[in-house]
Amino acid sequence: MSTHTHGPEDPGTDAPVAAAEPASSEASTPPVAPTPVSIPKTLLWWGHGLLRVVVFGYLMIYGWSKLTLMQMGGLDYSAALYAFGEKSPMGLLWSFVAYAPVFQFLSGLVEVLAGVLLIWRRTSWLGGLLGSFAMGAVLLLNLLYDVPVKQLALFLLIACALILLPDLPRLYAFVLGRATPPASIPRPVPWPRVHAVTRWIFSSLAVLIALSPLLVFQEMAPRSEETPLSGVHRVVEDTAEPAALLVEDGRWREVAFGRYVLREETRSMTLRLANGVLHEGRYRHIGDDEIEVSLNPALEGDRPLTQEAEETFVLTWTVLDDGRIHLVGEGLDLVIESDPELRYLYDRGFSWAPGPPINR
């Protein structure tokens, strides 16, 4: 008789060893309870989404109006006759931006890009960050130059900061070089089937809205069309007799005809009289050698943004052999010529080469 004792795993044992049965997955893994929907948290994300929609709308309007040079326009010849002290702070800012259309274009591009980034939740933090910088700059300019939409700029700045707020801890950790926590991607629509549809509908609609100004604003944007009449001119001959007193002398002294075509095919113009009074107005070509002129009341005080014309008349213009222009009509018979000093700003141009500063 053998005295060797077989272990349970000994192949020599006479008794078969039963294989261990795998434990049932249902028995080993407890059922996962569905995550309850937090009503307050869902409402907060709904508010976050609504805020993105509102800011997106404003950024599209203001951004595209800058991209197409509609908000500040281009610095036209008609701006040349304003004395520096006659400008309002807002008018000074508008002229500053209008002189550099690239600056205006890039400002609009930043606003449009920030708005587009707000469409998707994963990129909304970047849109909020970019929008905060853009609206901060806009608010500062509005405060310094007394632009009357300070409250709107402040609202948009706060709104962009609130949009950025949920991702601020991750951004802070990234700036400090620390490990960033996972992004919190909410689901404002807690029903999966509804969410599968709405996630594409809203974003697709927003993209269409963001691109639609390419058709609408492009048609409304001012276009530049030079004519022999365009420019800044000084009166060199006039058949009218001067008044006894200079303050009563209503003869034309300087006139500027704009080059940008505005609504109803009109262009802007300004007229400086011999007594110093300045008139703003518009003109439009009604024939090969005729223009219809509409002059506003004399510039004085806080004039409204839009005005009704004080007088409208037709002038016939002819380019003389020496390049000067003869104007006739409405009791006028005078000759004007381009004044290089009055249009120096427009003719100065750009120079990359170093040289003496021209600060006049």
pLDDT per position as a tens digit, 322-343: 999 999 998 999 999 999 999 9
Mean pLDDT of 298-315: 90
Banded model confidence at residue 6, pLDDT cuts 50, 70, 90: very low
Q: 203-217, 230-244, 312-326, 334-348: which has the minimum mean pLDDT?
A: 203-217
pLDDT for res 4: 46
pLDDT over 90 at 223, yes or no:
no
- Which residues have a Cβ under 8 Å from the Cβ of 243 and sit 6 or more positions away? 249, 250, 251, 274, 275
CA distance 155 to 136: 10
- The least confident of 113-117, 137-141, 194-198, 259-263 is 194-198
Share of the chain above pLDDT 90, in %: 59
Where residue 99 falls among pLDDT bands split at 50, 70, 90?
very high
The residue-averaged pLDDT of 37-65 equals 86
Q: How confident is the model over 342-354, as a mean pLDDT?
A: 90
C-beta of residue 57 within 8 angstroms of C-beta of residue 51: no
DSSP class of 176: T
pLDDT of residue 190: 67
Mean pLDDT of all residues in 174-189: 76
Residue range 264-290: mean pLDDT, rounded: 95
Rg over alpha carbons for the chain, rounded to the nearest Å, is 35
Domain ranges of the chain: 39-220, 224-347
Three-class SS state of 205: helix
Map tokens 């004395």 to a residue: 83
User: How large is the average pLDDT for residues 57-85?
Assistant: 93
Which is nearest to 311 in space by CA: 332, 338, 326, 289? 332
How confident is the model over 244-248, as a mean pLDDT? 94
Ranges 60-69, 136-145, 312-321: which has the least confidence: 60-69
Per the model's pLDDT, the better-predicted residue between 158 and 200 turns out to be 158
Burial 315-349 (b: 16+ CB within 10 A, else e): bebeeeeeeebebeeeebebbbbbbeebbeebeee
| pLDDT of 42 higher than 80 | no
User: Counting every residue, how long is the chain?
Assistant: 360
Angle, CA of 188, 189 and 192, to the nearest 5°: 135
240 three-state secondary structure:
coil
Confidence of residue 3 (pLDDT cuts 50, 70, 90): very low
- Please classify residue 221 by burial: count the beta carbons closer than 10 Å to its beta carbon, then call 0-12 exposed, 13-18 middle and 19+ buried: middle
Q: 140-149, 155-164, 187-196: which range is least confident on average? A: 187-196
> Which pLDDT does position 35 carry in this prediction?
53
If DSSP codes are grouped into helix, strand and coil, which group holds residue 214? Answer: helix
* Averaged confidence pLDDT in the chain: 86
Closest listed residue to residue 335, CA positions, set 348, 312, 319, 311: 319
pLDDT attached to residue 44: 82
Is 244 a residue whose pLDDT tops 90? yes
Is the pLDDT score of 219 beyond 80? no
Rounded to two decimals, what is the model's pTM? 0.79
Confidence of residue 7 (pLDDT cuts 50, 70, 90): very low
Q: At what angle do helices 39-67 and 150-164 cross, to 10 degrees?
A: 130
Q: What is the mean pLDDT of residues 291-315?
A: 92
- Does pLDDT of 20 surpass 90? no
> Residue with structure tokens 């307050």?
40
What is the residue whose two structure tokens read 């090969």? 288
What is the pLDDT averaged over residues 188-195?
71
Residue 337 one-letter amino acid: E
Mean pLDDT of 304-308: 84
| Span 61-72, average pLDDT | 91
State the average pLDDT over residues 287-296. Answer: 94
The pLDDT of 246-273, averaged and rounded, is 94
pLDDT given for residue 187 in this prediction: 66
Handedness of CA 50, 51, 52, 53 (dihedral sign): positive
Structure tokens at 168: 């601020």
Topology at the third CATH level for domain 224-347:
Lipocalin (2.40.128)
Residue with tokens 């060199």: 236
